[in-house]
Structure 1
Amino acid sequence: MTPKELLLLVNEGEGATVEFKKTTTQLHAAFETICAFLNGKGGVVLIGVTDEGKIIGQDVSDHTKLEIASHIAKLEPSAQAQIEVEYIIVEKNKYVIVITVNQGNHIPYIYDGRAFLRNQSTTTRMSQHRYEQLIVERGQLNHSWEKLFADKKYTIDSLDHQEIYRTIEQGVRFNRIPSEALQDSTEDALIRLGLVENRQINNAAIVLFGNDLFPTYSQCLIKLGRFRGVDKLSDFIDNQQIYGHAFKQLSEANNFLMRHLPIASLFQEGQLERIDKPALPVLAVREALINAICHRDYSNQSGHVTIAIFDDRLEIWNYGTLPSPLKIVDLKQKHHSHLRNKLVSQIFYNRGLIEKWATGIGKMLSLCKEANIPEPEFEEYSDGFEIIFRFAEPISISIKRSGTVVELSLRQQAILNIIKKHRSVNIQQIMLDLKSPPSRTMVKRDLDHMKKNGFVSLKGAARNAVWVPGKH
């Protein structure tokens, strides 16, 4: 660094990646910040600059250099390759010590036995939970969480054998598992998939195929909500919590999305056929849902996946931030895949649910562009990662019929089709004909909405009440 570059850096002031220290008497605090830079995006510590940004320099002796080297040695794992120390002369016998820190390759780092994080221009201690998360991600433990043996009360008999066989069949179909696997016993199939050792199943087997998971594996949970309006302060239209293995969650979430994500349908004068267009590209939403279930952090029992549908957007949140060193800014660029759950991810790949590594985000972006809707947004908060899909138009005005704007969800359209098919039908038959029917109360609410808008009519009363197509 040249003196001119130093001056420019000082003039920018302290911030998320720049820290000033007046003298080497503050070396301990300086190296706490250096540790935070290693655990973050990197940064620069300038010793010989006051908090106000005045360059005063300081004396530098061999003892000073040895002292700095001793503090570098207190960083674990070794960070010498990520740290560069320069001595910039600012006046006679006075130097500013410039310590440049690159982001570490083995996060988390500790200094003098503690880990630190950078928050804006402040250095703080890292929480124990966050430290443990990063340790697992780094792979410095003997096994990641998914490879640890499952709770002793769970055995091979505790798993969904039908789903295991389906995994083998689909793996063979996609040429990702050899055909001889079709002859495997359940235990042999699990061994082949890396999910059992010495007849003990691991946590990945539980996540993928486990039955009766609550409360021991309470993190195997997906929360599903359809909110009225644009925030969570509004009423629920529908609200579910599903405990179960990954493929059960995937199936239930898909059913929920099918019920509540509407199809925009345009009926034009002189045409009998309806033009249907989903509010969101189905494959993009499917990709985001698979990512949330497959790549989330399962190590915390309070973790889960959340799907929230509002009038203007769909949010899919999962516990667990992006695996280091991946950052949100990297997602829309070409990037390497960083798998948190390698065993779980491999099973999803074997089943054809993941096509290629590190292509999911790019696929979502291109599908949204083709559908002429905004690109998905990405956020990290509350120790989790979220994908937001915004509708081109609020779903409360997603149906257009003869110039009149009304709202019909996919489930309401299915109900309408059932009524048209039977011409006259009671609510019990409607629920029998529906795929994955909700509660009777929800169906009644749908019927009332459709009646109000002229799609259906009610004839008779009480037990003799039947629904017929409306005049609309």
Structure 2
Amino acid sequence: MNLQELLQLGESYHQEFKETIDKSLVREICAFANASGGKVFIGVSDDGTIKGVNFDNNTRSRLQDSINHIEPQLRVSIDYQQSVIIITIPESKSKPHACSEGFFLRIGPNSQKLTRNQIIEFFQQEGLIHFDELINSRVNVDKHFSITKYNHFIELAKISPKLAPQEILQNLHCLNDKQQLTNAGALFFCDSIEFLILQAKIACVLFQGTENITILDRKDYRADLVNDIEDSIIFLRKHLNIAYKIEHIQREEILEIPEVALREAVINAVCHRNYFEKGANIVIAIFSDRVEISNPGGLPSGLSKESFGHKSVTRNPLIADLLHRIGYIEKIGTGIKRIKDAIAETSNCSVEFKIDEHWFSTIFYRNKLNNISSDISSDISSDISSDISSDIRSNQIIELLLKDNTLSAAKIATILNISSRGVEKHLARLKQDNVIIRQGSKKYGTWLVNTQKSIKR
């Protein structure tokens, strides 16, 4: 675009008009560099009329002097057309920039000075401050530190216990010289993070149907990160369909959504969530047609939607390093690929990643149970193929009763999304085969599962 066409666009997020070089120029340049870049036109009135300005040695000197007041140093492009000085400012890779008057940011068609809280938020958004590396002032090491969790960690990480815990924790960047734990240290080595980092909770919810209206089951996990990850996987296994592939006398459990994909999605949410956002938690939501694993915080600064899945930028590098040490992350930056590869190997589900400014979600779309049966039917003996769907349901009921022996037929029907009559039929068969025994009354009794018995065919 030529100069006239640019001026016709008017002042905007990327353009500023100035009639002369004044004290505000350095603020405008600074604001553009801290935002997405832009152009300053000197010698132009607010309505876009060219007034013109001389570009002699004195003007050059004043202009360069203004730019030199910006820290850190900033490279800009200066052009002179039709008596107008055009300063092109790129989006800086060395944010934030400041001048003698403070920090400025382009917001809409204006350059605004940032307040203290806005400066902190800006640093966080640009990834210049990492939550996991900050000291947690709420932690009392003597009161909150768990030697049991510490010992479990160094065992998983294969770290020699010969060194003192303080030395190992300092080498892991979880403890400073004043014996204060970082947020990462609190997340991994404290008994409970409920009152130390309120927003670190993982909320697991089972909904009835396809909408988040009726809650059938809910668990909030707020122990350490390792236990929270494992408990979340247990919750998912409890409420997802499990089929069985039987070859000879061996039985293999097949989760409708590959566990490796679910695990990677949960770990990804824990590792990459925005812990500065105190009003939101990681949410694992199970619906009849999908599973959504969502974490606050969109893509971290420096990672675009186009490069997502191909490049890696870690929002919480210390958390990622600690998870890598204990084998929860095979190689930093490979989680999304592992999810895609696991889903590609099955026809039982599909996956979608949804990203906006504030949230990142991994959505697994569930197929019907009979799809699982058809996928594995060719691999099982012909003498049981006709009964496989019934056996899958019966085994699912057994799994549920092993986890909660107080479940009623109606509750089982709701969880499995089948009729109560169908559940009663399966229960009757299982009782006839002595696989399950009812103890107590119909209303207040419990189920006893005979794990030594197999399903009679």
Tell me the TM-score range normalised by the shorter chain. Answer: 0.7 to 0.9
Q: Name the structure 2 match of 1:116.
A: 105
Q: How many Å separate the matches in 1 of 2:408 and 2:279? A: 29
Q: Name the structure 1 match of 2:305.
A: 328
Between 275-284 and 292-301, the greater mean CA deviation after superposition: 275-284
| Pairing partner for 1:154 from 125, 136, 140 | 140
Partner deviation per Cα, 1:411-430 (whole Å, 9 max, x = no partner): x7655235xxxxxxxxxxx7
Q: How many Å separate the matches in 1 of 2:243 and 2:81? A: 65
Q: Name the structure 2 match of 1:391.
A: 365
Q: Which TM-score applies when normalising by structure 2?
A: 0.73
User: What is the 5 A alignment of 1:71-90?
Assistant: 71-73=66-68, 75=70, 77-81=71-75, 83-89=76-82
Q: How many Å separate the matches in 2 of 1:305 and 1:137? A: 19
Contact 1:110 1:116 in 2 (8 A): no
TM-superposed deviation, 1:8: 9.5
Instruction: State the SS of the aligned residue for 2:306.
Output: helix
Instruction: State the SS of the aligned residue for 2:187.
Output: helix
Q: Name the structure 2 match of 1:215.
A: 195
Partner deviation per Cα, 1:39-64 (whole Å, 9 max, x = no partner): 34434444566778x67462233455
Q: How many Å separate the matches in 1 of 2:290 and 2:118? A: 30
TM-superposed deviation, 1:368: 3.6
Q: Name the structure 1 match of 2:287.
A: 310
Contact 1:106 1:138 in 2 (8 A): no
| Pairing partner for 2:86 from 93, 98, 106 | 98
Q: How many Å separate the matches in 2 of 1:355 and 1:12? A: 54
**1:185–1:220 CA distance, 2 compared to 1 (3 A):** same
Residue 416, structure 1, aligned to residue 416, structure 2: no
Between 121-130 and 56-65, the greater mean CA deviation after superposition: 121-130
Partner deviation per Cα, 1:426-451 (whole Å, 9 max, x = no partner): xxxx75x32xx4x9568861256563
TM-superposed deviation, 1:207: 1.2
Partner deviation per Cα, 1:320-350 (whole Å, 9 max, x = no partner): 44332223332133x3x43333332221111
| Pairing partner for 1:377 from 338, 342, 353 | 353
Q: How many Å separate the matches in 2 of 1:57 and 1:127? A: 34
Residue 461, structure 1, aligned to residue 454, structure 2: no
Q: How many Å separate the matches in 2 of 1:27 and 1:443? A: 78
| Pairing partner for 1:42 from 31, 37, 45 | 37
TM-superposed deviation, 1:86: 1.7
Instruction: State the SS of the aligned residue for 1:168.
Output: helix
Unaligned stretches of 5+ residues in structure 1: 419-429
TM-superposed deviation, 1:155: 0.9
Q: How many Å separate the matches in 2 of 1:391 and 1:166? A: 35
**1:392–1:28 CA distance, 2 compared to 1 (3 A):** farther
TM-superposed deviation, 1:386: 0.6
Partner deviation per Cα, 1:111-146 (whole Å, 9 max, x = no partner): 632332546x676666755531443576877xx543
Contact 2:72 2:98 in 1 (8 A): no
TM-superposed deviation, 1:290: 1.2
Amino acid in structure 2 at the alignment position of 1:200? Q
Instruction: State the SS of the aligned residue for 1:326.
Output: coil
Q: How many Å separate the matches in 1 of 2:5 and 2:260? A: 47
Q: How many Å separate the matches in 2 of 1:371 and 1:125? A: 53
Between 297-306 and 221-230, the greater mean CA deviation after superposition: 297-306
TM-superposed deviation, 1:254: 1.2
Residue 23, structure 1, aligned to residue 18, structure 2: yes
Contact 1:264 1:279 in 2 (8 A): yes
**1:470–1:354 CA distance, 2 compared to 1 (3 A):** closer
Q: How many Å separate the matches in 1 of 2:41 and 2:271? A: 43
TM-superposed deviation, 1:206: 0.5
Residue 286, structure 1, aligned to residue 286, structure 2: no
Q: Name the structure 2 match of 1:424.
A: none
Q: Which TM-score applies when normalising by structure 1?
A: 0.71
Q: How many Å separate the matches in 2 of 1:31 and 1:447? A: 68
| Pairing partner for 2:240 from 252, 255, 261 | 261
Contact 2:205 2:286 in 1 (8 A): yes
Amino acid in structure 1 at the alignment position of 2:33? L
Task: Kindly report the root-mean-square deviation, in angstroms, between the aligned alpha carbons of the 2 structures.
Answer: 4.6
Contact 1:456 1:470 in 2 (8 A): no
TM-superposed deviation, 1:246: 0.9
Residue 357, structure 1, aligned to residue 353, structure 2: no
**What percentage of residue pairs aligned between the two structures are identical?**
21
Residue 194, structure 1, aligned to residue 182, structure 2: no
Between 195-204 and 234-243, the greater mean CA deviation after superposition: 195-204
Q: Name the structure 2 match of 1:163.
A: 149
Amino acid in structure 2 at the alignment position of 1:304? N
Q: Name the structure 1 match of 2:186.
A: 206
Q: Count how many residue pairs are aligned between Structure 1 and Structure 2.
A: 421
Instruction: State the SS of the aligned residue for 2:227.
Output: helix
**1:100–1:280 CA distance, 2 compared to 1 (3 A):** farther
Q: How many Å separate the matches in 2 of 1:48 and 1:396? A: 70
Instruction: State the SS of the aligned residue for 1:377.
Output: strand
**1:302–1:443 CA distance, 2 compared to 1 (3 A):** farther
Q: Name the structure 1 match of 2:384.
A: none
Contact 2:18 2:46 in 1 (8 A): no
Between 354-363 and 371-380, the greater mean CA deviation after superposition: 371-380
